[in-house]
C-alpha cells in the first residue's frame, strides 16, 4: 500500500509547479519565476495568509531539488517539548500565570524582568509561548467574574435575525483616483444567506442604509437587525427607518466580535475564495467590482452546501421559510420616501433654508417657523418640506436670487384701516351732562367733522 502524501508537501509542490516542471532553467530564469509566483495569492492550508515570500518559495525549490517531495514535508523542531529556560524563570512564569490567567506573554516577560531573574530584552516571546503551551497555559482565560456565558444559537426562521457588518476591501481606481473600498454585508442568521452585500467607498450609516434598502426589496423585512456599536450606526436616520419598518435595531457590545460569529465566518470565506481570486488590474471601477461580488454570491456562495445547515445550501434553506418572511405590503409604494432623510430647519424671514451649502426657497408663509427638509441623501437632492409633525407642506425649489430681482412681491391691501370707536372718558361725560342741564344742543359727529374741515 502506497504511503499518503503530506498535504502541506503537496501544496508546496503545487506552488512550485512552474519551477518543478522545467528540466533546465537558464541563468536568471529562477529569479523571474520566483518573483512571479510570489506575486500570486494562495489558499494556504491552516493559515489566513494568502501570499508567500520569494525567500520561502526559493527555499522550497532547493529542498525539492535535493530530496524530492520528501524535502517539502515540514520538519519538526528538534527541541520540541523542551525548554532552555532556567528553573527560577519557569517557576516565576507559572506563578504569575496561575495568579492571573488573563496575563499576556508581554506582561509575564515584564514581571520576570522586574524581578531581576533575567536582563531586559533577553527573554523571547517564542520561548515563553512554547513553555506555556507545554504547561497547557497558553490560552488567555478571563477570570470567571468577568466572563460572559456564550451559547451557540440559530434563529428559528429566516428573517428573524439579520447581522450587519463592514469588511475592509481592496483599493480600486476611480475617476477621483485610487480609493479604498468597504464591503457592507447583511446576513440572515437562519440560512446564512447574504440578503445583500455591496462594496462602498465608506462605512457610514448611509452606506448600510443603502444596503438595507436593497436587502428588503429582495428578501423581505427582518424582525431584528444586529449591527456594530459605532457612532456612525447610531444615526437618527437609520433608527427612524427601522422604527417605521418595525425592525428592532440591536447594537453589539464593543470589542465582542463573538456576537456576530456567523458573519465573521463568512468574511473568512470571502477572503479565501473571493479577495484572493480577483485581479486588481481587471477592476475598472466600483460597479465593476460589485458585479463580480454579486456573481460570486449568487452562483457560488449561495449554491454551495453549508456544514452549519446540515448540507443544505443557503438558498435552499431560505426558500424553505418563505412562508414566514414578512413582506413590505402597502409600505412598498412608499419605500423610497421611508429611506429619505428629514433635516430640521428654521425658515428665514426671506423664506429660505439651507442644506449642505445650498439655498432653497419655501412658502413665504413659513417664515420664522421650524420645518423638516425632506432630502434624498444618495442623490444630494432636496425634495419637499414637511411640518415638524410630518404634514406635507409642498415642494422646495433652489434659490434663484437673480429671478427674485424682478419678482412681484406680495403687499398688504390699500384699503383704509377700520376706525375703532372710542369709549367716552370722564371729561366727555361731564360735558354731555352739563349741556343737557343748560339746554345746549350737542353737535353731531358729522357737524364736528365739517367744522374741522
d(CA 31, CA 13): 17
Domain membership flag for residue 436: no
Domain membership flag for residue 249: yes
- Three-state secondary-structure class, residue 208: helix
CB of 184 closer than 8 Å to CB of 200: yes
Q: How many structural domains does the chain have?
A: 4
In the Cβ-directed half-sphere of 243, how many Cα atoms lie within 13 Å?
A: 7
Domain membership flag for residue 207: yes
Q: Judge residue 67's burial from the number of C-beta atoms within 10 Å of its C-beta, 0-12 exposed, 13-18 middle, 19 or more buried.
A: exposed
Same domain, 290 and 233: yes
CATH of the domain at 200: 3.30.420.10
- pLDDT, residue 30, reads 84
- pLDDT, residue 211, reads 94
Same domain, 205 and 305: yes
Cell numbers found for residue 9: 508537501
Cell numbers found for residue 413: 391691501
121: left (phi over 0), alpha (psi -120 to 50) or beta: left
Element (H, E) at 268: helix 261-270
- pLDDT, residue 296, reads 94
Q: From first to last of the 453 residues of the chain, give the pLDDT tens digit.
A: 345 667 788 888 888 888 777 777 777 788 888 888 888 888 888 777 778 888 888 888 888 888 888 888 877 656 555 677 888 888 888 888 888 887 888 888 888 888 888 888 888 888 888 888 888 777 655 544 454 555 667 788 999 999 999 999 998 888 888 889 999 999 999 999 999 999 999 888 899 899 999 999 999 999 999 988 777 778 888 888 999 999 998 887 665 555 578 888 899 999 988 988 888 778 888 999 999 999 999 999 999 998 888 889 999 999 999 999 999 888 888 999 999 998 888 888 887 888 888 888 887 778 888 888 888 888 888 888 888 888 888 888 887 666 665 566 555 555 555 555 555 677 777 777 777 777 777 776 554 454 544
d(CA 142, CA 148): 9
Same domain, 286 and 255: yes
Same domain, 172 and 320: yes
Same domain, 288 and 169: yes
- pLDDT, residue 144, reads 46
Same domain, 64 and 94: no
Same domain, 349 and 278: no
Spatial CB neighbours of 301, under 8 Å, sequence gap ≥ 6: 194, 269, 273, 314
Cell numbers found for residue 146: 468577568
Same domain, 172 and 316: yes
- pLDDT, residue 319, reads 93
Same domain, 316 and 359: no
Same domain, 239 and 199: yes
- pLDDT, residue 50, reads 79
Domain membership flag for residue 414: no
- pLDDT, residue 453, reads 46
Domain membership flag for residue 18: yes
Domain membership flag for residue 234: yes
Same domain, 26 and 115: no
Domain membership flag for residue 330: no
Sheet containing strand 370-376, edge to edge, reads 341-346, 370-376, 381-386, 392-395
Give me the sign of the Cα torsion angle 308, 309, 312, 313: negative
CB of 344 closer than 8 Å to CB of 354: no
Domain span including residue 113: 87-134
- pLDDT, residue 151, reads 60
Spatial CB neighbours of 319, under 8 Å, sequence gap ≥ 6: none
Domain membership flag for residue 308: yes
Same domain, 309 and 188: yes
- pLDDT, residue 266, reads 92
Amino acid at each position: 500500500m502506497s504511503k499518503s502524501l503530506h498535504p502541506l508537501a503537496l501544496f508546496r509542490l503545487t506552488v512550485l509547479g512552474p519551477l518543478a516542471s522545467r528540466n533546465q532553467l537558464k541563468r536568471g530564469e529562477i529569479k523571474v519565476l520566483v518573483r512571479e509566483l510570489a506575486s500570486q495569492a494562495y489558499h494556504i492550508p491552516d493559515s489566513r495568509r494568502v501570499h508567500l515570500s520569494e525567500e520561502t518559495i526559493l527555499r522550497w525549490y532547493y529542498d525539492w531539488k535535493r530530496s524530492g517531495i520528501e524535502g517539502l514535508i515540514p520538519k519538526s523542531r528538534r527541541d520540541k517539548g523542551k525548554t532552555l529556560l532556567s528553573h527560577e524563570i519557569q517557576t516565576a512564569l507559572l506563578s504569575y500565570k496561575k495568579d492571573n490567567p488573563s496575563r499576556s506573554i508581554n506582561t509575564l516577560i515584564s514581571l520576570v524582568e522586574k524581578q531581576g531573574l533575567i536582563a531586559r530584552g533577553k527573554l523571547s516571546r517564542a520561548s515563553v509561548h512554547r513553555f506555556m503551551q507545554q504547561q497547557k497555559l497558553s490560552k488567555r482565560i478571563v477570570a470567571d467574574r468577568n466572563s460572559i456565558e456564550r451559547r451557540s444559537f440559530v434563529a428559528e426562521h429566516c428573517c428573524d435575525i439579520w447581522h450587519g457588518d463592514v469588511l475592509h476591501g481592496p483599493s480600486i481606481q476611480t475617476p477621483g483616483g485610487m480609493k479604498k473600498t468597504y464591503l457592507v454585508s447583511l446576513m440572515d442568521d437562519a440560512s446564512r444567506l447574504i440578503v445583500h452585500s455591496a462594496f462602498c467607498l465608506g462605512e457610514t450609516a448611509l452606506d448600510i442604509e443603502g444596503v438595507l434598502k436593497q436587502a428588503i426589496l429582495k428578501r423581505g423585512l427582518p424582525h431584528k437587525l444586529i449591527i456594530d456599536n459605532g457612532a456612525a450606526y447610531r444615526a437618527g436616520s437609520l433608527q427612524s427607518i427601522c422604527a417605521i419598518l418595525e425592525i428592532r435595531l440591536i447594537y453589539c457590545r464593543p470589542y465582542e466580535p463573538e456576537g456576530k460569529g456567523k458573519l465573521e465566518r463568512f468574511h473568512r470565506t470571502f477572503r479565501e475564495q473571493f479577495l484572493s481570486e480577483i485581479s486588481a488590474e481587471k477592476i475598472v471601477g466600483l460597479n465593476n467590482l460589485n458585479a463580480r461580488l454579486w456573481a460570486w454570491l449568487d452562483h457560488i456562495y449561495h449554491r454551495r452546501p453549508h456544514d452549519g445547515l446540515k448540507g443544505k445550501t443557503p438558498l435552499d434553506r431560505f426558500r424553505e421559510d418563505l412562508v414566514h418572511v414578512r413582506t413590505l405590503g402597502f409600505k412598498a409604494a412608499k419605500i423610497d420616501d421611508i429611506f429619505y432623510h428629514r433635516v430640521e430647519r428654521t425658515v428665514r424671514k426671506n423664506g429660505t433654508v439651507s442644506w449642505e451649502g445650498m439655498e432653497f426657497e419655501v412658502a413665504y408663509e413659513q417664515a420664522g417657523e421650524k420645518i423638516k427638509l425632506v432630502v434624498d441623501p444618495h442623490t444630494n437632492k432636496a425634495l419637499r418640506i414637511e411640518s415638524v409633525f410630518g404634514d406635507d407642506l409642498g415642494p422646495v425649489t433652489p434659490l434663484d436670487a437673480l429671478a427674485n430681482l424682478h419678482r412681484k412681491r406680495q403687499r398688504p391691501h390699500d384699503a383704509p384701516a377700520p376706525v375703532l370707536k372710542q369709549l367716552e372718558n370722564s371729561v366727555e361725560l361731564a360735558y354731555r351732562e352739563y349741556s343737557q342741564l343748560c339746554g345746549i344742543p350737542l353737535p353731531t359727529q358729522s357737524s364736528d367733522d365739517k367744522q374741522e374741515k
